[in-house]
């Protein structure tokens, strides 16, 4: 697809068609797939609802069971999924552009692990404070704190990775290697905390750690939404600089960019996107990796155009994966984090193999 999109000669009808495809047809097709995925998410599940029942429920009439399923289970879950798809997608696109590395991703750079560790620690501390019982129910750990705590963890991890890879400057390769190392260590610490400290609700935490949309409702959506809006508000001012980093450190510096400052700042913004999502649904890996890659293939080298498409891919991937996870083993569910990992690991290996 890439070759088809970029190798057209200028000013030919073929190129005009290619451009039209790139600008309009493909996003339109994507939008259609998004609608399809969204509708399927509302229709299918442990109980299949007819389109008619879903429509009636959505419009506020219809039977109570359908209303309950649509309004309290499937719709909020769909929307939370869409939101985290957007978060991980933007984080992934930013990271890949800024690191000039198609292997960069919030998971690989240790951001997700940092966010997880902070959240698990908060959970364990809250559990200690309550003595026993679910810290959510006892009110010690408010859900709204989790994105904040996770963001703190994710940003500290990002800063740590940056600091470790600093050697008079930071090269993208060293950053990725340090990220993988830090991610493994933090992951081990999460397991350690779970084994040694938390007792009662280990199972709840384990489900969360697999990255799950199970039981995500309006409260989760409203918890995450301010973070989405805040992070999106930061984005436009950063795009020109982030775009420039793709030309390499030297050229970017020559064109007037303070490269290290920008790279660090963008790393933190990407951490903000990814970690706040982790706080709500747990570490869902590989979404950014897959989505950013496909966005680059279809949108071309301009980061601004990639960022128009990648959130759509992100939403599509997350909602489709969640649907898959819900349908494969009815009545049991496969957490979405597991599904995306199953998709993402082969993709990662494919990318590695292609890089020789």
CA distances from 163 to 105, 155, 238, 306, 349 (A): 18, 12, 22, 28, 27
Compute the distance between CA of residue 110 and CA of residue 244 in angstroms, rounded to an integer.
24
Under rule CB under 8 A, residue 257 binds another protein: yes
What is the size of the binding site for another protein (CB under 8 A)? Answer: 33
User: Smaller CB distance to another protein: residue 203 or 250?
Assistant: 250
Least distance to another protein from the beta carbon of 61, Å? 46
Least distance to another protein from the beta carbon of 300, Å? 5
Under rule CB under 8 A, residue 300 binds another protein: yes
Query: In 166-258, which ranges are continuous DSSP H helix?
Result: 172-196, 202-209, 218-245, 249-254
Under rule CB under 8 A, residue 222 binds another protein: no
Q: Quick one: DSSP state of residue 9?
A: P
Name the segment binding another protein (CB under 8 A); options: 4-12, 82-90, 123-131, 134-142.
4-12
Given 79, 99, 190, 244, the residue binding another protein (CB under 8 A): 244
Compute the distance between CA of residue 83 and CA of residue 280 in angstroms, rounded to an integer.
10
Under rule CB under 8 A, residue 144 binds another protein: no
Site string for another protein, 13-42 (x = CB under 8 A): --x---------------------------
Name the segment binding another protein (CB under 8 A); options: 199-207, 264-272, 298-306, 328-336.
298-306
Least distance to another protein from the beta carbon of 291, Å? 17
Q: Quick one: DSSP state of residue 49?
A: -
User: Smaller CB distance to another protein: residue 41 or 310?
Assistant: 310
Under rule CB under 8 A, residue 233 binds another protein: no
CB of 316 closer than 8 Å to CB of 81: no
Which of positions 79-138 make contact with another protein (CB under 8 A)? Answer: 97, 100
Under rule CB under 8 A, residue 9 binds another protein: yes
Least distance to another protein from the beta carbon of 26, Å? 15
DSSP string, 127-159: HHHHSSS-HHHHTSS-TTHHHHHHHHHHHHHHH
Compute the distance between CA of residue 263 and CA of residue 267 in angstroms, rounded to an integer.
6
DSSP string, 277-321: HHHHH----SHHHHHHHHHHHHH-S-HHHHHHHHHHHHHHHHHHH
Residues of the shown chain interacting with another protein in the complex, contacts defined by CB under 8 A: 2, 5-11, 15, 97, 100, 168, 236-237, 239-240, 243-244, 246-248, 250-251, 253-258, 296, 300-302
């Amino acid at each position: 697809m890439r070759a088809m999109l970029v190798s057209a000669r200028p000013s030919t009808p073929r190129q005009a068609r290619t451009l039209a495809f790139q600008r309009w047809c493909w996003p339109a097709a994507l939008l259609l797939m998004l609608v399809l995925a969204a509708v399927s998410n509302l229709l299918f599940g442990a109980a299949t609802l007819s389109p008619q029942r879903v429509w009636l429920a959505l419009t506020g009439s219809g039977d109570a069971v359908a209303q309950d399923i649509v309004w309290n289970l499937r719709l909020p879950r769909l929307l939370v999924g869409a939101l985290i798809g957007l978060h991980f997608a933007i984080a992934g696109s930013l990271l890949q552009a800024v690191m000039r590395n198609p292997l960069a991703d919030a998971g690989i750079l240790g951001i997700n692990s940092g966010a997880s560790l902070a959240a698990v620690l908060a959970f364990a501390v809250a559990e200690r404070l309550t003595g026993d019982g679910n810290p959510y129910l006892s009110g010690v750990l408010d859900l709204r704190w989790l994105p904040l705590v996770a963001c703190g963890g994710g940003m500290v991890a990002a800063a740590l990775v940056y600091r470790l890879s600093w050697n008079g400057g930071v090269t993208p390769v060293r950053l990725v290697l340090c990220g993988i190392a830090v991610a493994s260590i933090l992951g081990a610490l999460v397991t350690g905390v779970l084994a040694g400290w938390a007792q009662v609700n280990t199972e709840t935490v384990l489900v969360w750690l697999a990255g799950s949309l199970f039981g995500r409702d309006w409260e989760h959506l409203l918890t995450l939404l301010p973070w989405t809006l805040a992070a999106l508000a930061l984005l436009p001012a950063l795009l020109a600089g982030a775009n420039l980093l793709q030309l390499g450190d030297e050229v970017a510096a020559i064109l007037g960019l303070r490269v290290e400052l920008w790279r660090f700042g963008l790393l933190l913004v990407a951490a903000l996107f990814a970690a706040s999502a982790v706080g709500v649904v747990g570490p869902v890996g590989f979404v950014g990796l897959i989505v950013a890659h496909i966005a680059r293939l279809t949108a071309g080298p301009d980061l601004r155009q990639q960022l128009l498409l990648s959130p759509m891919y992100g939403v599509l991937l997350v909602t489709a994966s969640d649907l898959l996870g819900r349908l494969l083993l009815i009545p049991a569910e496969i957490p979405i984090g597991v599904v995306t990992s199953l998709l993402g690991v082969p993709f990662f290996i494919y990318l590695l193999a292609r890089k020789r």
